[in-house]
Structure 1
């Protein structure tokens, strides 16, 4: 399994018991849908390795307490500490309407209701307080705040997003 075919589920943050149980901090708004998985992929030295789950349950809302089949000692658990955890993309719940996953809209065309075609979405910058669309426009990078009020429609069929940004925002990048 390649990382491109997966989505980030969370990170192993600490051990739970002396029998190899681990706590995974889930990066999701719906932790309960990941409570009864059969397996997950763990990034071990830049390689995704499948680990089969013996048992799992939610622990304090956003932590998943997991016992993997072949992780039975503290030493086994130590070797996985701070590792990232992934699942195949097909396990992502389908989103509808104007809700979308960040990876899903890369390559979409962005149009502004007033400005017209803005460009192609090349990435999402979520390292700031406000997530930003990174849009390429003839060699220029335009950053559009990912604000629900700006997003009018997400058209998956035609791979486009229609936004209505404040007057002058796009021009700031093109002058």
Structure 2
């Protein structure tokens, strides 16, 4: 069985907790992906390191707050079953993401070439994760996966047309490679 590569998906949040007794769950969102969820009712949950598809039931999404929605997934019909999935990261296919035409989001950085002001070209940004406001860019450099913290203070140049982002990466980040 072939799994969906994470590079083809964007993490949208995680399942926080069950809601009620019929299997509904709170999906804590990292950004506003509600329109994407309504248009494309397939989400992927990370289970044992693999992305597993789940389908929203008809009318399976309700707004709860600006940062969370209630979701109801096929085959999950009790609080007990829903509880087993709590804590799972949720993803959407990159091709299923809907953005406003001129809206730039973290997802758009995937595929950009990362350049360090001292080392030069590092590699292509493969993933962008937001851990409570701390952004990490995932790139491969000299055959190893490197997590590079992103902060506006590190930004030297951003070229959307060339798909390049130049940072002054923190000291020591490439020392052990």
Q: TM over 0.5: same fold?
A: yes
1:83 maps onto 2:88 in alignment: yes
* 1:50 corresponds to 2:53: yes
Equivalent residues of 2:56, 2:73 under 8 A apart: yes
Deviation at 1:78, TM superposition (A): 1.7
- The alignment partner of 1:77 has SS state of helix
**Of residues 101, 105, 129 in structure 1, which corresponds to 2:107?**
101
- Specify every segment of 5 or more residues in structure 1 that has no aligned partner in the other structure, as ranges: 164-168
Q: Is the 8 A contact 1:130 1:145 kept in 2?
A: yes
Question: Residue in 2 aligned with 1:39?
Answer: 42
Task: Check whether the contact 1:98–1:153 (CA below 8 A) recurs between aligned residues.
Answer: no
Shift of 1:31: 4.1
Give the direction of change, closer, same or farther, for the CA distance of 1:96–1:109 in structure 2 (3 Å limit): farther
2:66 partner SS: coil
Alpha-carbon distance between aligned partners in 2 of 1:13 and 1:155, rounded to the nearest angstrom:
34
RMSD of aligned C-alpha atoms?
A: 4.0
Partner of 1:19, secondary structure, is coil
Count of aligned pairs between the two proteins: 159
The aligned counterpart of 1:166 is none
Which structure has the larger Rg? 1
Please list every run of 5 or more consecutive structure 2 residues that lacks an aligned counterpart in the other structure.
173-177
Normalised to the residue count of structure 1, the TM-score between the two structures is: 0.66
Paired residues of 2:114 and 2:124 also in contact (CA < 8 A): no
The aligned counterpart of 2:70 is: 65
Compute the displacement of 1:136 (Å). 9.6
